[in-house]
Chain A
Amino acid sequence: MERITHNVSRRSALKFLGAAGGGLALASWAQGGRALAEAPDGGKPLESFTGPGANPHWNSVGPYVMEPQKTPLILLTDRPVQVETPRHYFRTVFTPNEAFYVRWHLGEIPNSVDLAKWKLRVEGNVNKRVAFSLSDVMQKFKPVSVAAVNQCSGNSRSRLQPRVPGGQWGNGAMGNAMWTGVRLRELLDAAGVKSGSAQVQFEGLDAGAGPKGMGSNRFLKSLDLTNASLDDMIVAYLMNGEPLPVLNGFPVRLVVPGYFATYWTKSLSWIRVLETPDDNFWTKTAYRIPDTSRGTTTPEDVKAGKVKTIPIGRMPVRSFLISPDGSSKIPAGLGVTLRGIAFSGYGKVVKVEVSDDGNSWKAAELGEDHGAYSFLGWQAAWTPKTPGRYSIAVRATDEKGNVQPDEPVWNPGGYLWNKIEKQELVAGRAN
């Protein structure tokens, strides 16, 4: 066996120590006298809650947790499950199923589904009640696909000032997927909607421990039969070409392109045609927004009972810078690529602009078009010319001419946030 010995003379050892000593001295000089072992702030865990000020972080502040069929996601609540998608998963315009956010309302959410027994029923005010197995749904109807953003009504709720109770989402209660399934219209036609019907109600496999007849017992959402978006709605059995994770609504979920996710009933099992408008809690009382411009109001007006409300509907235009995310310092003079996503529930995003001074806006290059309801990728070249702190702002404009504003939104539900997003990026000296 070969033995390697280090024959170090006392003299060369001293020389080495001298060099190391010089190195230590120089290193501490380079750091402006800070202790060598001090870690940058980036290594510290986040605070466990934010407020009463706005949450300053892109995502919510909960810990990463593992849920079934999921990659580590950010915890809001464990029963019922609410987990948020971390920012970096939005580097692609299609959000991976295993990273797709989850939001359930009631505690008794399905753990398993037996497809030998499960049926999708169309009932209520119809000519003929029908019940389809998943096999029927897959084979009896023509499959159609749509790329569509699913965003929680309360996405970014933790930005509101004053803060409002509810799920304290950062920006990650959203995702985009290619949904494949059958048209809702075809399922309704198979049963035959009787004339004079008012609404169609959707119910999934979830239930709650609350008393019968209350919102804590069943989650029900209804839409008017005159709503034109019924033509766009599908009952999806595929999400990005895979079965839906149970937490995202296996075996089928409703897809309502352009609308907030409250209408996208998960594990959809009952489609009920109603003769009269739905008066259950989730349709009539919950998920309402002020009938004002941008759905914004004030705590004072709410208190004074001045606010007329309407059901939440389409998603206002939004855009996000995904990378760089501020986790790295950029050497001044280095040209980097700003990348992100944009979407609007009112139609195609036609323009995305970025600014590093809040005044001058530069058009970003738009990515591949996956349809009006999808995330649209964008990118822009950016070079921080001198060292310093930059605030990168991004704003989108949709085909209806809606432009993201720089003003906040406030309403008691914490809905509709779409203020221009800003990210601080630090450029350091390059020499």
Chain B
Amino acid sequence: MKKRWKTALAPVGVAIALAGGLVFAQMRSGSYGSTNATSIEQAAAPRFAPDAKYDAGPYPSFTRELAEGDGRQEVESFCAICHSTRYITMQPPLPGATWEAEVSKMVKSYGAPIPEATAKKITSYLEGHYAPENRKE
């Protein structure tokens, strides 16, 4: 008699297990990343005096590391006179001729005080690291 009950209950147990399985399968939950994601700190509210000065404070710098290579130092000293090197890393990979035209525009149209030999070095650095065939990051 007892044995019969057990046999009768076995399929019920399997059914419960399967039903549990089905309930479980309609969703997936509790999954969190194992590493920290990036975040941006909130800025505290500024404290103002009721005078005539309207101050936004300094603008933050967000400069990406340039590719390692000969000419990087020249880029960092000359190009960065007027603008941060984000102007370089923000560009899409550009063909050598376009980089050459850009450097030439900086010297001729904008008056960048770059000696000719240095301008050449800067151009080859940009062609060598920021062109479609060689840009990495």
Contact = CB atoms under 8 A, between A and B. Distances in A.
A333 interface: no
Interface in B112-137: 112-113, 132, 135, 137
Interface string A394-417: 000000000000000000000000
A182 B51 CA distance: 24
B111 interface: yes
A63 B82 contact: no
21 contacts: A22-B18, A24-B24, A27-B25, A29-B25, A39-B33, A48-B64, A49-B93, A49-B135, A68-B56, A68-B58, A78-B86, A79-B84, A79-B86, A165-B91, A165-B102, A168-B90, A168-B91, A168-B92, A211-B113, A215-B109, A250-B54
Interface of A: 15-16, 18-27, 29-30, 36-37, 39, 43, 45, 48-52, 55, 62-69, 72, 75-81, 106-107, 109, 111-117, 158, 163, 165, 167-168, 208-211, 213-217, 243, 245-247, 250-251, 281, 285
Contact of B61 (A23, A79, A112): A79
B5 interface: no
A213 B81 CA distance: 17
Contacts of A65: 40, 60, 62
A18 B17 contact: yes
Q: How large is the interface on B (under 10, 10 to 19, 20 to 34, 35 or more residues)?
A: 35 or more
Of the listed residues B82, B87, B90, B102, the one surrounded by the most CB atoms of chain A closer than 10 A to its CB is: B90
Nearest to A109: B59
Contacts of B132: 51-52
Given A22-B20, A165-B94, A115 B52 contact: yes
A84 to B, nearest CB: 11
A251 B54 contact: yes
B104 interface: no
B66 to A, nearest CB: 13
The prevalent SS among residues of B at the interface is: loop
A213 B111 CA distance: 9
A352 B51 CA distance: 48
Nearest to B61: A78
B58 A111 contact: yes
Contact of A77 (B40, B53, B86, B112): B86
B43 A66 contact: yes
B137 A48 contact: yes
B83 interface: yes
Contact of A214 (B40, B83, B111, B135): B111
Nearest to B28: A27
A72 B21 CA distance: 43
B87 A77 contact: yes
A15 B13 contact: yes
A68 B57 contact: yes
Contact of B98 (A77, A165, A210, A243): A165
A64 B83 contact: no
Contacts of B33: 39, 43
Contacts of A62: 90
Interface in B59-86: 59-64, 81-84, 86
A26 B22 contact: yes
A267 to B, nearest CB: 11
B92 A111 contact: no
A56 B22 CA distance: 39
Given A65-B40, A107-B83, A115-B52, 8 more contacts: A20-B20, A21-B21, A23-B21, A49-B89, A67-B59, A112-B54, A168-B90, A246-B56
Contacts of B21: 19-23, 25-26
A93 to B, nearest CB: 27
Nearest to A23: B24
B111 A210 contact: yes
Nearest to A28: B25
A209 B83 CA distance: 9
A26 B24 contact: yes
A5 to B, nearest CB: 23
B31 to A, nearest CB: 7
B59 A68 contact: yes
Contacts of B54: 112-115, 243, 246, 250-251
Given A26-B24, A51-B92, A65-B62, A247 B56 contact: yes
A50 B18 contact: no
A22 B17 contact: yes
